[in-house]
A and B are shown apart, each in its own frame.
Chain A
Amino acid sequence: MELYIKYNIDMMCKVLLQQQLDKFKIDCKVTEPGYVRFKENIPMETYNKLIDSLKEFGIEIVDNQKSILVQKIKNTIIEMLYADKGMQSLKISTYLSEKLGESYRTLSQAFSEVTFISIENFIILHKIERVKQLLLTENISLTEISFTMNYSSVAYLSQQFKNITGVTPTAFQKIMKQKRYTES
């Protein structure tokens, strides 16, 4: 049997995070993706236990200023990529610097320093990840994907996919299908 599942990563993370925090009886609220507001300070012991329990789910607490800024940039970009079409057509550099209140130059410098890739490449990488997900989980055509993901044409999407992964979207689908078949 095979099941194709659709999920909302944002929602999952928020719920999971809140559950973990509740487990420690910490009075706080997950306000936006990747951001938690505490009502009061918590004891160091609880804090360390919290870190351990979150680690299990691949969640980490970001604790230096530059890393916090980079994480904010990442969250904003990912939020944009998974949002509806209207939001995706915004100019990302302007949107980022307005939302985070720093010049794009400052943002992109901090970003490359911490992540070893540029903001532009990060966006492309994540866009292609989203395209991969769509190619594998939903029965939609490449044309529809290119429309949903705000690409100017299918040809451009195919080309960018090939540039990033080294294979065409069709070859990717074929490989993943065979892989699933041999694994099951």
Chain B
Amino acid sequence: MRPTPIHIMLADDDEDDRLFFKEAFEEVKIKYKISTFNDGEQLMEHLYDASNPLPDIIFLDLNMPRKSGIECLKEIRNNERLQKISVAIYSTSSSEQDIEDTFVSGANVYIKKPNDFNMLKKILSDVVHINWQYITDGLNKDSFILSL
């Protein structure tokens, strides 16, 4: 097994959404710690600094100023040091095409932002628990695809 806590990162430009997310993680049974960023640019700067420890999973809002979720995702997948990190994208869009494009760009998880807080809690705990299985059992991350 692997020592907990797991490390979660979250980038979202909306302060309320960041708060919602943080609170929603309380449902997660695994010990975790969470770092939040106000936009993609800030997140990437932090990730590129090799002295900062890498997270186990990153949650990205699709629409952010300065650097969008997709731009971050592409940079992460093209960086040797970062490419193994699980990436979850969340968005208000539920178009099949958007979802497929996000996966093709290398996302592992696509979350359609729910309106209901309890639903968000359930979704986030599912994502973290399933991602945990990929970490502990060395499952193939390349074909890790989850759409919620």
Contacts and interface: CB of A to CB of B under 8 A. Distances in A.
Interface stretch (A24-32, A90-98, A109-117, A138-146): A109-117
Contacts of A126: 137
Interface residues of A, number: 28
B145 A115 contact: no
A74 B24 CA distance: 30
Interface residues of B, number: 26
B123 to A, nearest CB: 11
A60 interface: yes
A55 to B, nearest CB: 10
Interface in B99-148: 99-100, 103-106, 110, 129-130, 132-133, 136-140, 143, 145-148
A67 B96 CA distance: 40
B133 A115 contact: yes
11 contacts: A60-B2, A62-B1, A114-B1, A117-B129, A117-B133, A165-B146, A165-B147, A167-B103, A176-B143, A182-B104, A182-B105
Interface of B: 1-2, 29-30, 96, 99-100, 103-106, 110, 129-130, 132-133, 136-140, 143, 145-148
